[in-house]
Amino acid sequence: MHGAGERALGVHRVLEPAGVLPQAAHRLDADPAIGPDEVRISVQRLNLDAASFRQLSESCGGDGQAVRAAVLEIVRSRGKMQNPVTGSGGMLIGVVDAVGPESPLGLQVGQRVATLVSLTLTPLRITDGLARWDGRSEQVPAEGTAILFARSIAAVLPDDLPDAVSLAVLDVCGAPAATARVVEQTAAKSVVVIGAAGKSGSLSLAAARAAGATELTGLVRDDTEAAALRASGLADRVVIADATDPLAVAAAVGTPADVTVVCVDVPGAEHGAVLATSDGGTVVFFSMATSFSAAALGAEGMAADVTMLVGNGYTPGHADLALELYRSTPGVRALIDPRVHE
């Protein structure tokens, strides 16, 4: 039997290996019958994390049917959606359809919510074979059930935004919150965002500006993204480089910045990010494709005195901050909306 503290973390749902928390588990029990401290969500849509979707899509040669089969097999065999290669998941939206009498989450049956805990630790059962998904987008219409624990978090979906937009913004809401916190705490003036025209990148630029940064550089991969980012007005300067080419990143950025935020969805951006950051500065690695060893050993090898932060997906108030930046910043909407498929 597990105590209330362990149950709150979802340990009772771990099938193997014993003794780990749900995020590290290979397999979870996704039984829709809830315990007294749990909440069941009737799933409507999943948002696969960008790094996971890109990896699945590339490994299936862009074949949507194969991507769908791969996602179904992961969820069936693991009881959760955790890409075994990237280790990442995403999040979901749905309707609360059962609340245990001891759940502390304050949710009510019928509320429409987004889970703000990762799919990598959320017990998930899919019942429609993902029949309405073509396997070609990060957002996945789905039917099934998901379980929230006593220490999970969920946000009631706002009425003023399309669900697909809320899902996309909330999936990356840790990035603007982390950026704002670092800029405020270090009184940073110059910020470089790598992958600046994407969802987390555009929100991070807006958050850096709101937090007091005055020299914002957005690094993007090509002319098309550069034009879109310039038109958005979010960055003071737009530069083009392949984020995985460290020397090209350093040359494009020029004078290193106080803070660098890594928002790409591909591996290999660590060294460029370190080179883009001044001595005494901070790198926030929000990308799930980040390698701890590449970042740590790379910085050591360059004798770079930078603080490196793992972009924690949770910061108090992160959901409201991201939704508010989306609502109040036309440039953020201009970059995110075309990436959201209704």
Interface ranges with ligand NAP (CB under 6 A): 49-51, 88, 171-172, 174, 195, 197-201, 220-221, 225, 242-244, 263-266, 286-289, 311, 313, 339
Q: How far is the CB of 244 from ligand NAP (least distance, A)?
A: 5
Pick 210 or 239: Cβ nearer ligand NAP: 239
Q: How far is the CB of 1 from ligand NAP (least distance, A)?
A: 32
Other Cβ atoms within 10 Å of 171 Cβ, number: 28
Pick 46 or 51: Cβ nearer ligand NAP: 51
Pick 188 or 263: Cβ nearer ligand NAP: 263
Pick 197 or 295: Cβ nearer ligand NAP: 197
Alpha-carbon distances, residue 18 vs 5, 9, 14, 22 (angstroms): 16, 14, 7, 10
Q: How far is the CB of 197 from ligand NAP (least distance, A)?
A: 5
Contacts of 86 by beta carbon, 8 Å cutoff, 6+ apart: 49, 51, 52, 55, 288, 289
Q: Are strands 215-220 and 139-148 parallel, antiparallel or unpaired?
A: unpaired
Q: How far is the CB of 220 from ligand NAP (least distance, A)?
A: 6
Contacts of 1 by beta carbon, 8 Å cutoff, 6+ apart: none
Residue written as token pair 């503290």: 5
Pick 305 or 337: Cβ nearer ligand NAP: 337
Pick 262 or 304: Cβ nearer ligand NAP: 262
Tokens of 293: 């060893």
- Is the separation of the CB atoms in 37 and 4 below 8 Å? yes
Q: How far is the CB of 192 from ligand NAP (least distance, A)?
A: 12
Q: How far is the CB of 5 from ligand NAP (least distance, A)?
A: 24
Contacts of 175 by beta carbon, 8 Å cutoff, 6+ apart: 200, 201, 203, 204, 207, 261, 263, 284, 286, 311, 322
Residue number of the CB atom closest to ligand NAP: 198
